[in-house]
Amino acid sequence: MQKTLKSIAGEVGGTLLGSISDKTMLAQGVSTDTRSLYPNQLYVPILGDRFDGHDFLSDAVKKGAVAALWQEDRALPSSPSIPLIRVKDTLEALQQLAAAWRREIGVKVVAVTGSNGKTTTKELLGSILSVKYRVHRTQGNLNNHIGLPLTLLSMPRKSEVAVVEMGMNHAGEIALLSQIAKPDLAVITNIGEAHIEHLGSRQGIADAKLEICEGLAQQGTLVIDGDEPLLRERLVKEKRRYIRVGWKEDNDDVLQGFATEGLEGISFTTSLTGSRFTLPMMGQYNAKNALLAITVGRTLGLTEEELQQGLNQVHITGMRLEKVTATNGMLIINDAYNASPSSMRATIDLLSSLDGFKEKWVLLGDMLEMGPEEEAYHREVGRFAMEKGISRVYAMGARGRWIVDGAQEVAPEGKAIHFQNPEEAAQTLLAEGNEGVVLLVKASRGARLETTVEHILKGAKTF
């Protein structure tokens, strides 16, 4: 974002406090964190539960901030050394500024939400669309009421397409993000159990995900997991165009001829064009993520050849089916970025399908925000792993005990074990693992299973 302070004040309904000449000063970008602030950026102090960004104004000045927003219920500093723009609420002002920048540069916006696969689908979209367009996309997990505005405000003026991820914990949050971003295309990857603690049921989750339509353009397009009845039944009266993709034969585009290439990736055909695509990512569920991205690409005018070129160059961020080899030769598939019951089952299915290994093990951890049924969900995952032929089920965390308990209901003695800490887990896995073993590691991000992986991988090589 590049704007004068006068323009910023007008767009957020604020009052510029400074000299007359300050009106023409140019802000080049926005930051809410003085630790990563660059010179000439606008500093936006946010109020958190345990901090107040206004307390760090002096740090922003030292870092070279050109100006700062200032919430009107906070006492003004006695002699600020940079101009301040006084606003009713700094967070709302940040969101208003992001919406204004999105309107000003006229970029096409593709928004992505869903219980599982949001980030993977965002990366697939970014890779595909960058073949034809100048693409700006969400970095990391900047997908909430602060992260999404920062994503939009970091768009270069010459951007042609923005791919933004929308996350949530509670009802109403995606509606707000959609109203800020005003997407031209929206994607819902699936409906799982993540955040069911806050939303009460899968029906509640579906309603929350469909809030992405709140800001969707009247001539916009919605692309959905067509295998999910909860989405279909809620879209019966939808007037805007929506496209259903998936495995079921009555979808608008059907995945066919799925094949796995072992650790190298997958391939599939889409019924709409008969084109066959290859994807350098493991997992049958990633075929649907890819088809969602392909559908958006087709909608934005890419050829089948350009779509394949985009799939070929995709790069997925860490801890998402990341393959590494431990010092004892054991292959580790690190998918510890996040987890829900449905994504646990999907990755266990993937592990079960791999050939060339004498034994297949899992190291699983807590699934968070599962609500009152959390024990049943964890036990079911343990049973499922054993029923899929997994040789050993290991788990960590307080909820991980339920996974082991579930596995032990159907497992031979000694095949399901709970570890007390990362050191104990690493010691056992290094001692007993070998080149004939593949280990899947998966849990909610808050379980921090990556710490265990780090212990195992001292001296490991990635590939």
How far is CA 102 from each of CA 154, 303, 436, rounded to the nearest angstrom? Answer: 10, 27, 52
Helix, strand, coil percent content, the chain, rounded in steps of 5: 40, 20, 40
CB 29, CB 41: distance < 8 Å? yes
State yes or no: 116 annotated in a binding site: yes
| Sign, Cα dihedral of 326, 331, 334, 340 | negative
Flag whether 358 is marked binding: no
Which position has the token pair 């598939």? 333
Helix (H, G, I), strand (E, B) or coil at 454: helix
Strand 241-246 and strand 253-260: the pairing is: parallel
Residue 117 annotated as part of some ligand binding site: yes
- Tokens for 192, please give them: 């799982």
Is 115 annotated to bind ligand?
yes
Amino acid found at 355 = D
Please report the sign of the dihedral spanned by the C-alpha atoms of residue 219, residue 208, residue 140, residue 261. negative
Is there a binding annotation on residue 328?
no
Rounded CA-CA distance 459/407 in Å is 32
Tokens 């920062």, residue? Answer: 150
CA atoms within 13 A on the CB side of 161: 23
Q: Determine if residue 299 is labeled as part of a ligand binding site.
A: no
Is 169 a known ligand-binding residue? no
Strand ranges for 183-240 from DSSP E = 185-188, 221-225
Binding positions are: 114-120
Binding positions for ATP are: 114-120
